[in-house]
Amino acid sequence: MLKNLVIVESPAKAKTIEGFLGKDFVVKSSYGHVRDLNKTQLSVDIENGFMPQYEVSPDKKKLIAELKKLAKDTEMVWLASDEDREGEAISWHLFEALGLKEDKTKRIVFHEITKTAIQKAIENPREIDHNLVSAQQARRVLDRLVGYELSPLLWKKVKPGLSAGRVQSVAVRLIVEREEEIKNFESSSAFRITAQFTFEKDGQKHQLQAELAERFEKEEKAREFLYSCVGAGYTITAIEKKPSKKSPAAPFTTSTLQQEASRKLGFSVANTMRVAQQLYESGKITYMRTDSVNLSNLAITMAKEAITETYGEKYVKTRNYTTKTKGAQEAHEAIRPTYLDQPEVKGSADEKRLYDLIYKRTIASQMADAKLEKTQVTIDVSTNKKQFTAKGEVILFDGFLKVYMEGTDDENGEESNHLLPPISKGQQLNLNEMIAQERFTRHAARYTEAALVKKMEELGIGRPSTYAPTISTVQKRGYVVKEDREGTVRNYKVMSLKKDKLSEKTASENTGFEKSKLFPTDIGTLVNKFLCQYFEGIIDYNFTANVEKEFDEIAMGQKEWNLMISEFYGPFHKKIEDTTENAGKFSGEKLLGTDPESGKNIFVKVGRYGPMVQLGDTDSEEKPKFAGLRKNQTMETITLDEALDLFSFPRTLGNYEDKEMTVAIGRFGPYVKHDSKFFSLQKTDDPADIETERAIEIIEAKREKDRNSTIATFDKEPDLKVLDGRYGPYISYKKKNYKIPKGTDPETLDLEACMKIVDNPDNAPKKRFTRKKSSK
């Protein structure tokens, strides 16, 4: 009989811990949650105290059976899931699903994976905290109720297949509102005056860059100022020195790792997590989904040693960081290298780069402050009362800067603090050139994925394990797109004073260029408008923070979980019913104008398949005509002329092989149709310009490509083909695809062998899991 069975959440953790515990312990993993609400129905019994109806998750059936068998023959089961709300619930679900006995079960927790921490945990077991489990249950039920009542309402009122939820809808709101802010932003310009001075000291020539403290809104005033400096002398009248320091940033959490990897390595949030997972699984870093900035004592000791050895003792300053994040649950350590004596690891290029970032951030966090000296120099102008200032910064002691400096999201990095030449008070300066350059104010920056995560974390919305999936969800639903956008050229005025002569010119710059930024789509904007209008409370930025307070009360045993849910659900559900009944279709319909040919109205609106234009009124006798918007068109910017162009399809071309060709625009872009087959246009083709000749070219090019990807065909069975596709060779038969078993050379297949493959159910195409409903 087995003595001890320990169950943790992650298999990599299980492996490490098993090494610490010795042969009397077997350590297994639950792979996260093991039970959940059924996803095909609400699974919350509203009439009976909102009782959730749990079931073992389909992908956990096998695992639970295994664990159950193991637990039966074990003297003591130790539930060692994380010490937070979700972790406590996982332990309780395991207890229930495995049918454990209280006297044979213990609950233990630890925040760091070290031998002492585990042994201490084993010596201090406790029982499952049912209040904490109730708080998780409240969280789970609330999210289900919100998601599963709001989403169907969107299907009815806006468009099928949409979704809404406590987290994703706020993420979309942030992006939509930022876009509106940008749209309403009015840029203003002012003239910034900079001067380059020279002087000689001890036979050496020096330069000094300075800026006028004041900016001029009007071009005329800037010009006046430059003129006023003609023939002027310049003198340094004050030098002010101030000591300052910089401290290192805290070790990485999930959110800060995503931000830095985005800023410094250009990683998407999903890529960062994928690479971090690989590093974690190969034992190189600690757990990557965490909101804690805490390092274990062991880690701090290791860091101290590494810093002392490489940089010397005066670079060491050990620190304990505390989180400032709202709602942080700190079940894990910060993200750090497992072994701090390893500055480099083997692995893919991405793994190496991400590890390097984690290594440096961790080491720097335990290093001394950088000591600086900031200098401000004041320069008087003899011909007027205005003053220039020059700023400089000297690093007296580099400290942690030797290793790592946190990146910034600030795109207005105009101010540069450079080294100053040897200056002294009273020094006379010569003006080399003075420039007045028109500078424009900038709108707030659009969100990158990582910047959105940062904002969500500030609002306490979402968790480390959901940041990346949420960003992917809002893109999958078509609410948000991640795109590059080209900028526009803008002119600005430059005036220069050199050798007492004024010259003026107009220069141009590219502005508004965006790389990998999040933009709202028409659907995202419309859904946000709908939710703002009818469910302001749910997408309020403080909604999560407020319900979190109540979850905390439940966790402390001060409130019943289902009472909390009931208080929320009453008004919420009433609003759902009201809106279902009283609100009309929410299509964002807008009249664009009238068709000059027929005089009928042309609208733009969201239809069953997305944004479209409509020719003719919905309630008119004659059925209106519809056409979907192209990818680069939006409901807000489409013009009447563009709408009319969309109605010019399908357009008939000449014949080819005695069959008619047409050109049209469909769901997947423009295409040529011939003999009831479809041929997609190239990106460079404009469907408005396609004529017979080009259409034939496109058809022939497609046929050629098909021929090249055909491995074998058979005269006896024209429906069967061996083809080479995206994922390698496969068999196509009667519009269904079959995989070829491993180790079979597709070139050698004859018809008989193919039919054998087709008939073998193992090779049958995978069907989407659909629940069979009993027929009535």
Partner DNA sequence: CAGTGAGCGAGCTTCCGCTTGACTT
Task: Give the residue numbers marked as catalytic.
Answer: 287
Interface residue with DNA among 292, 294, 473, 525 (CB under 7 A) is 473
Question: Of 98-106, 375-383, 592-600, 722-730, which segment contacts DNA by CB under 7 A?
Answer: 722-730
Q: Pinpoint the alpha helices (H) of 335-459.
A: 349-365, 449-459
- Kind and range of the H or E run holding 564: helix 561-582
Nearest to 267, CA basis, from 326, 348, 167 = 348
Residues from 650 through 669 that contact DNA (CB under 7 A): 664, 666-669
State which residue, 117 or 495, has the beta carbon closest to DNA.
Answer: 117
Residues from 331 through 350 that contact DNA (CB under 7 A): none
- How far lies 70's CA from each of 67, 89, 126, 152, 417, in Å? 5, 21, 22, 42, 65
Q: What letter would DSSP give residue 441?
A: -
Computed on alpha carbons and rounded to an integer, the radius of gyration of the chain in Å comes to 33
Question: Of 136-144, 174-182, 559-567, 750-758, which segment contacts DNA by CB under 7 A?
Answer: 136-144
State which residue, 280 or 315, has the beta carbon closest to DNA.
Answer: 280
Nearest to 462, CA basis, from 238, 236, 289, 277 = 289
Interface residue with DNA among 83, 84, 179, 351 (CB under 7 A) is 84
State which residue, 226 or 288, has the beta carbon closest to DNA.
Answer: 288
Per-residue x/- mask for DNA, residues 371 to 400, rule CB under 7 A?
Answer: ------------------------------
State which residue, 11 or 233, has the beta carbon closest to DNA.
Answer: 11
- Least Å distance, CB 608 to DNA, is 4
Interface residue with DNA among 28, 85, 106, 360 (CB under 7 A) is 85
Per-residue x/- mask for DNA, residues 668 to 707, rule CB under 7 A?
Answer: xxxx------x-x---------------------------
Nearby residues of 402 by Cβ (< 8 Å), 6 or more positions away: 311, 315, 367
State which residue, 14 or 340, has the beta carbon closest to DNA.
Answer: 14
Interface residue with DNA among 6, 7, 13, 471 (CB under 7 A) is 13
Q: Is 738 an interacting residue with respect to DNA (CB under 7 A)? A: yes
Residues from 556 through 615 that contact DNA (CB under 7 A): 607-612
Interface residue with DNA among 140, 178, 304, 446 (CB under 7 A) is 140
- Least Å distance, CB 96 to DNA, is 15
- Least Å distance, CB 125 to DNA, is 21
- What is the C-alpha to C-alpha distance for residues 626 and 632, in angstroms, rounded to an integer? 18
- Least Å distance, CB 749 to DNA, is 14
Residues forming beta bridges with residue 618, ordered by sequence position:
none
Q: How far is CA 422 from the centre of its chain?
A: 47
Interface residue with DNA among 32, 266, 487, 654 (CB under 7 A) is 32
- What is the C-alpha to C-alpha distance for residues 459 and 174, in angstroms, rounded to an integer? 11
Q: Is 470 an interacting residue with respect to DNA (CB under 7 A)? A: yes
Dump strand ranges (E) for 587-719. 590-594, 601-607, 610-615, 625-628, 651-656, 659-666, 669-674, 677-680, 710-713
State which residue, 234 or 738, has the beta carbon closest to DNA.
Answer: 738
- What is the C-alpha to C-alpha distance for residues 336 and 360, in angstroms, rounded to an integer? 9
Q: Is 58 an interacting residue with respect to DNA (CB under 7 A)? A: no
Q: Is 16 an interacting residue with respect to DNA (CB under 7 A)? A: no
- What is the C-alpha to C-alpha distance for residues 19 and 548, in angstroms, rounded to an integer? 38
Question: Of 346-354, 440-448, 566-574, 736-744, which segment contacts DNA by CB under 7 A?
Answer: 736-744
Q: Is 91 an interacting residue with respect to DNA (CB under 7 A)? A: no
Q: Is 521 an interacting residue with respect to DNA (CB under 7 A)? A: no
Nearby residues of 545 by Cβ (< 8 Å), 6 or more positions away: 326, 327, 459, 460
- Least Å distance, CB 721 to DNA, is 10
Q: Is 339 exposed, middle or buried (0-12, 13-18, 19+ CB in 10 A)?
A: middle
Residues from 256 through 285 that contact DNA (CB under 7 A): 277, 280-281
Question: Of 442-450, 549-557, 595-603, 731-739, which segment contacts DNA by CB under 7 A?
Answer: 731-739
Angle between helices 269-281 and 449-459 (to 10 degrees): 80
Q: Is 771 an interacting residue with respect to DNA (CB under 7 A)? A: yes
- Least Å distance, CB 714 to DNA, is 17
Nearest to 10, CA basis, from 286, 218, 252 = 286
Nearby residues of 271 by Cβ (< 8 Å), 6 or more positions away: 261, 350
Per-residue x/- mask for DNA, residues 403 to 442, rule CB under 7 A?
Answer: ----------------------------------------
* DSSP conformation letters of 167-233: THHHHHHHHHHHHHHHHH----EEEEEEEEEEEEETTEEEEEEEEES--BSSHHHHHHHHHHTTT--
Nearest to 276, CA basis, from 195, 358, 184 = 358
**What single letter denotes the amino acid at residue 508?**
S
- How far lies 432's CA from each of 193, 195, 639, 679, in Å? 14, 8, 52, 65
Residues from 142 through 201 that contact DNA (CB under 7 A): 143-144, 146-148, 151-152, 155, 160-169
CB-CB contact of 590 with 635 (8 Å): yes
- Least Å distance, CB 275 to DNA, is 13
Nearest to 337, CA basis, from 287, 297, 380, 291 = 287
State which residue, 163 or 256, has the beta carbon closest to DNA.
Answer: 163
State which residue, 23 or 623, has the beta carbon closest to DNA.
Answer: 623
Q: Is 647 an interacting residue with respect to DNA (CB under 7 A)? A: no
- Least Å distance, CB 696 to DNA, is 18
Q: Is 626 an interacting residue with respect to DNA (CB under 7 A)? A: yes
**What single letter denotes the amino acid at residue 677?**
K
- What is the C-alpha to C-alpha distance for residues 146 and 576, in angstroms, rounded to an integer? 10
Q: Is 633 an interacting residue with respect to DNA (CB under 7 A)? A: no
- What is the C-alpha to C-alpha distance for residues 458 and 556, in angstroms, rounded to an integer? 24
25-29 and 2-8 as β-strands: parallel, antiparallel, unpaired?
Answer: parallel
- Least Å distance, CB 297 to DNA, is 22
Interface residue with DNA among 248, 337, 464, 524 (CB under 7 A) is 464
State which residue, 716 or 773, has the beta carbon closest to DNA.
Answer: 773
Q: Is 11 an interacting residue with respect to DNA (CB under 7 A)? A: yes
Size of residue set near DNA by CB under 7 A: 91
State which residue, 198 or 472, has the beta carbon closest to DNA.
Answer: 472
- What is the C-alpha to C-alpha distance for residues 592 and 586, in angstroms, rounded to an integer? 17
State which residue, 283 or 487, has the beta carbon closest to DNA.
Answer: 283
